[in-house]
């Protein structure tokens, strides 16, 4: 395998949580590394975080020192809205999630039902104020025949205090009431990657997906034919590569290590 060279890539797809930030705290050296990547090529943000709209993601990242435009953000809130639009056209939804999810659903032309029974789709994402009533409303919609779509199924996301419950906890609660999932929009599904690839002129062989989670960021990137790089500042640890059998092309301790050229081959343990 050829040695690591940043110049082999023209576009970088970056995950956010565990790569750029831990919750609202920038990871050490990530800001400078982010700027260096923007100088080296095109940077697009691929995040499963569905609590914010693209606009809200861009504003928040920019306020944390990562200068990003809304058009450079592919969030699972945007991806699920776009997926439903392409599957069934504008539809009537009942979101179980935070404000960014509703904002993206409306921006894609969907309508939010006035009561749960009026919805064609329950769209579930992370919700830090989930409660019994919200789950009961989701159940009312599903019992009345709505189908279930998820922004993503990440069980947890990394914070400075350790992993916290992710969208998978909310989706799991709805599924636990006896309903199947009809759509899963976020990584590792191909949709986010397909949208991102449509937004760059870089050849597939010259795109690098950088993420902290093997079973989403890296698995999805590999399936889409991209080179992948696992950073060790988030959820996944090196031994899990063998345990899960998901091999990134490259491994680095952090985003900063990528710029320093301190990158090792990810599939060195494969035979």
Spatial contact of 76 and 28, defined as CB atoms under 8 Å apart = no
Stretch that binds Mg ion, among 49-57, 94-102, 185-193, 210-218 (CB under 5 A): 210-218
Stretch that binds Mg ion, among 97-105, 139-147, 178-186, 233-241 (CB under 5 A): 233-241
Using CB under 5 A as the binding criterion, the count of chain residues that bind Mg ion stands at: 5
Alpha helices in 149-228 (DSSP H): 167-175, 190-198, 219-223
Q: Quick one: which of 212, 228, 246, 257 contacts Mg ion (CB under 5 A)?
A: 212
Q: How far is 263 from 252, CA to CA, in rounded Å?
A: 5
Site for Mg ion, residues 11 to 70, rule: CB under 5 A: 15, 17-18
First to last CA, the chain: 13
For Mg ion, give the closer residue by CB, 98 or 212. Answer: 212
| C-alpha distances in Å from residue 199, one per residue of 35, 96, 139, 203 | 20, 29, 37, 11
**In whole angstroms, how close is the CB of 85 to Mg ion at the nearest point?**
26
Residues tagged active-site? 10
**In whole angstroms, how close is the CB of 222 to Mg ion at the nearest point?**
16
Residue 154 is a binding residue for Mg ion (CB under 5 A): no
Residue 120 sits at φ, ψ, to 5 deg, of -90, -25
**In whole angstroms, how close is the CB of 49 to Mg ion at the nearest point?**
8
Q: How far is 259 from 159, CA to CA, in rounded Å?
A: 24
Give residues in contact with Mg ion (CB under 5 A): 15, 17-18, 212, 234
């Amino acid at each position: 395998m050829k040695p690591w060279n940043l110049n082999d890539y023209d576009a970088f797809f970056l995950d956010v949580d565990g790569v750029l930030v831990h919750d609202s705290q920038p990871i050490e050296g990530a800001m400078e590394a982010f700027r260096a990547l923007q100088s080296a090529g095109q940077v697009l943000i691929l995040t499963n975080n569905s609590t914010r709209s693209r606009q809200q993601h861009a504003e928040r990242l920019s306020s944390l020192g990562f200068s990003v435009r809304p058009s450079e953000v592919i969030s699972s809130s945007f991806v699920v809205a776009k997926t439903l639009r392409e599957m069934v056209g504008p539809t009537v939804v009942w979101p179980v999630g935070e404000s960014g999810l509703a904002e993206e659903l409306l921006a894609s032309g969907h309508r939010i039902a006035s009561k749960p029974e009026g919805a064609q789709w329950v769209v579930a994402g992370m919700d830090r104020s989930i409660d019994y009533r919200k789950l009961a409303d989701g159940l009312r919609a599903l019992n009345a025949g709505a189908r279930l779509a998820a922004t993503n199924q990440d069980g947890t996301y990394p914070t400075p205090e350790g992993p916290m419950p992710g969208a998978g906890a909310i989706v799991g609660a709805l599924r636990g009431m006896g309903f199947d999932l009809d759509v899963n929009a976020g990584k590792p599904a191909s949709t986010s990657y397909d949208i991102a690839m449509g937004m760059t002129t870089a050849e597939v062989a010259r795109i690098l997906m950088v993420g902290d989670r093997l079973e989403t960021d890296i698995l999805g990137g590999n399936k889409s034919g991209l080179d992948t790089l696992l950073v060790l500042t988030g959820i996944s640890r090196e031994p899990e590569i063998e345990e899960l059998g998901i091999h990134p092309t490259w491994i680095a301790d952090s985003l900063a290590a990528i710029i320093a050229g301190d990158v090792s081959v990810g599939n060195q343990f494969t035979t």
